Homo-oligomer: A and B are copies of this chain.
Amino acid sequence: MSLRFALLALLTSRPMTGYDVSKHFSQSVAHVWHAPDSQIYPELNRMERDGLLESAVVPWGKKGTKKEYAVTEAGVQAFREWMDSPIEIRRQREPAYLKAAYLEWAEPGAAHAELEQFRDYWTEHLAMLEATRATLVDRSHPTLARRLEHYDASQWDRIVRYKIFAYDGLIDQARAAVAWAERGLLLVDELEGSTVES
């Protein structure tokens, strides 16, 4: 059910078309909640049906039209209620850690390659998170900038610091993942090193 609230969160910054949502999503909310557009469009429809959003048909070019969604008062209300409700705890479900626990079954070369791939993914992801964090700190992040327009300047610091706090958590996790993978590579080298040579 969090997708619905991720979309509400994004749409509180400004009204958007489904296409805008799916584009902006990947640069902001998707860092905490990923979703493909095939999930976004139907969910926007359902949210409109449920009264959380209202849409306006906007002309686009000569013949084309597009549908712009805006959060309704009921939508704001639902978002606030969700914000005040207890966090759902996610069950652990991590293929990488599952594999790590049974690495004695892997070919030494494969184990090494997998840990490298994992480390590289998280290194890249970490760089992206840090870059995004920087755009929050200097307030150049486009969605954030639009969001702040609705608020009094006295509130800006508060809003920005919560966003940075969220990214700090993600960055910590990414750093932990990279460090773990690196320790894993050393471990594989130590335990399988001689096997590789033989």
Q: Number of A interface residues, CB 8 Å?
A: 67
- Whether, in the assembled complex, A19 has its beta carbon less than 8 Å from a beta carbon of chain B, the answer is no
Chain A, 163-198, contact with B by CB distance < 8 Å: what is the 0/1 string? 101111110110011011001100100010000000
A180 contact from B93, B99, B168, Cβ within 8 A = B168
User: Bound complex: CA of A187 vs CA of B157, how far in Å?
Assistant: 12
User: Bound complex: CA of A111 vs CA of B162, how far in Å?
Assistant: 11
- Whether, in the assembled complex, A65 has its beta carbon less than 8 Å from a beta carbon of chain B, the answer is no
B170→A187 contact, CB < 8 A: no
Residue of B nearest to A109 (CB): B84
A97→B32 contact, CB < 8 A: yes
A87→B101 contact, CB < 8 A: no
A173→B170 contact, CB < 8 A: no
A86→B104 contact, CB < 8 A: no
A103→B173 contact, CB < 8 A: no
B90→A105 contact, CB < 8 A: no
The interface residues of chain B lying within 8 Å CB-to-CB of A30 are 92
A105→B83 contact, CB < 8 A: yes
Given A105-B80, A172-B180, are A33 and B98 also a contact pair (CB < 8 Å)? Answer: yes
Chain A, 77-108, contact with B by CB distance < 8 Å: what is the 0/1 string? 00110011111111111111111111111110
Which segment of A42-50, A55-63, A113-121 sits at the interface? A113-121
**10 contacting pairs across A/B (C-beta < 8 A):** A2-B93, A5-B98, A32-B97, A33-B94, A33-B95, A34-B92, A83-B111, A97-B170, A103-B165, A162-B191
